[in-house]
Amino acid sequence: MGFWAKLKEKLTKKTNQVDQDEPILQQDEQTEEPVEQIKEEQKLDPVKKSEKKDQVVKQENKEEKKVKKTKTSETETKKQAKETLKEKKKREKQKEKDKKVEKAMLKSAFSFSKDIKKLSKKYKQADDEFFEELEDVLIQTDMGMKMVLKVSNLVRKKTKKDTSFENIKDALVEALYQAYTDNDWTNKKYKIDFKENRLNIFMLVGVNGTGKTTSLAKMANYYAELGYKVLIAAADTFRAGATQQLEEWIKTRLNNKVDLIKANKLNADPASVVFDAIKKAKEEKYDLLLIDTAGRLQNKTNLMAELEKMNKIIQQVEKNAPHEVLLVIDATTGQNGVIQAEEFSKVADVSGIILTKMDSTSKGGIGLAIKELLNIPIKMIGVGEKVDDLLAFDIDQYIVHLSSGFMQGDDSEN
């Protein structure tokens, strides 16, 4: 089994687990005589009658226990059925999410697969000229020169013994995966650092226009839907309309499922908003505090001062917080997004990327570029305009959907 097949199998197990048959509880086989039969067979002999009476009482007690056991079994069956239904809904929701990611990746996958297929027709085996053209194709995905060379070198190593194009394609998929994950099959370190039984504090940063405030609202919905208590701190006091945008989202799109702390005036000190939010979150036992911040990267000095002040206030309450500093980047901006990531990483300890508008780009490699250049992984992706279109990033999904066009032998486009 090749690498792509293994990766697809892994993804399938996560999103399409085999339904387990509901347990069928069988009645115990009846080995004793029925109570009525025993009664009918009673004799007039007093001794026998007494023996039969004792037998009847014992049998009645036994059947009473059996009835109780049956009722308990029925309760357990209903409970198991309820849990099975819950699991089924979870699986269906996961499949739904996977379809959304697949749809969002269509433009990138189509463009990438089309170029790889052209190479497969032009070259039957890998040589230096082939690798030059492969690197050109990879550059077109916006994954950045550093990642391109890393992937190209990995493919070269993996195809030394077998230079057939079938092996090259599989090696390319493995190289992309390996380059992003450093060969970590579990991907645990790329997940959002959300933990039970603590106040999780996440800060979102990013330039205006990337969808930062919208992503924050969607993220609030993501966790509220899971049953967590969520509070938003509207600490972008610089942009007129930022707080109103959040208020509108909470009222019309989130059905007031989350709460908001805001400043009483424009250009108020963002740190004071964060202070009030943390106080409320601790007192009222919230699970998650999401902090919106100003997106004026052009004035780095002021932004850095703001972020440092907010961090100090946060760390007075939670030493290891913020638990996530998530940079929101528009996937359609290409290499400009990489520049934003570089600049923001200078003023904030960015722990992850939220990549928005993945459904609107044919160049889905920007996340790979940022990961390679700055070692900042993608944590979530925006795949549409709906409130539930912000999803946890899954590298398995990403690689499978990006490469499925040329790995599954779809020759509909050349």
- On whether 163 is known to bind a ligand per the annotation, the reply is no
Domain 106-181 belongs in CATH node 1.20.120.140: yes
Domain limits, CATH 1.20.120.140, in the chain = 106-181
Pairwise pLDDT comparison (123 vs 255), residue with the higher score: 255
Q: How many residues does this entry show for the chain? A: 414
pLDDT of 38 > 50? The answer is no
pLDDT band at residue 410, thresholds of 50, 70 and 90?
A: very low
- pLDDT confidence tier of residue 236, bands split at 50, 70 and 90: very high
pLDDT at 21: 34
pTM: 0.79
365 is in an annotated binding site: no
**Residue 390 φ then ψ, to 5°:** -110, 120
> Is 243 a known ligand-binding residue?
no
359 marked as binding residue: yes
pLDDT higher than 60, residue 84: yes
Q: Between 93 and 264, whose confidence is greater? A: 264
**How, if at all, do strands 378-382 and 390-392 pair?**
antiparallel
pLDDT at 158: 93
Is 211 assigned a ligand-binding role in the annotation?
yes
Whether residue 218 is annotated as binding a ligand: the answer is no
Residue 89 is assigned to a ligand binding site: no
With beta carbons less than 8 A apart as the criterion, state whether 293 and 310 touch.
yes
% of the chain with per-residue pLDDT over 90? 53
List pLDDT tens digits, range 174-219.
999 999 998 777 777 789 999 999 999 999 999 988 999 999 999 9
Residue 94 has pLDDT above 80, yes or no: no
Question: Is the pLDDT score of 405 beyond 60?
Answer: yes
Residue 296 annotated as binding? yes
364 is in an annotated binding site: no
**Measured distance CA(62)–CA(38) in Å, rounded:** 14
Give yes or no for residue 224 having a pLDDT over 90.
Answer: yes
Residue 207 counted as an annotated binding residue:
yes
Is the pLDDT assigned to residue 26 strictly greater than 90? no
Which segment of 9-23, 88-102, 152-166, 377-391 scores lowest on mean pLDDT?
A: 9-23
Asked if 309 contacts 323 with a C-beta cutoff of 8 angstroms, the reply is: no
CATH class for the region spanning 192-405? alpha beta
Residue 293, annotated as binding a ligand: yes
- Choose the weakest-confidence range: 230-239, 254-263, 293-302, 357-366: 293-302
Sorted by sequence, the CB contacts under 8 Å of residue 134 that are 6+ apart come out as 119, 152, 155, 172
Please, where in the chain does CATH 3.40.50.300 lie?
A: 192-405
For residue 268, what are the CA distances in angstroms to 134, 261, 271, 272, 298? Answer: 52, 13, 9, 8, 19
The C-alpha atoms of residue 281 and residue 314 are separated, in whole angstroms, by 12
382 is in an annotated binding site: no
Q: What confidence category does residue 83 fall into, taking pLDDT thresholds of 50, 70 and 90?
A: low
Higher-pLDDT residue of 87, 114: 114
**Which residue bears the tokens 């902090």?**
291
Q: Is 161 annotated as a binding residue?
A: no
125 DSSP 8-state letter: B
Q: Is residue 262 within 8 Å of residue 234, measured between CB atoms?
A: yes
pLDDT of 34 above 60: no
Question: Does the structure show a pLDDT above 90 at 165?
Answer: no
In what order do the strands lie in the sheet containing 324-330? 259-262, 230-234, 288-292, 200-205, 324-330, 352-356, 378-382, 390-392
pLDDT for 52 equals 62
pLDDT tens digits, one per residue of 321-345: 999 999 999 999 888 999 999 989 9
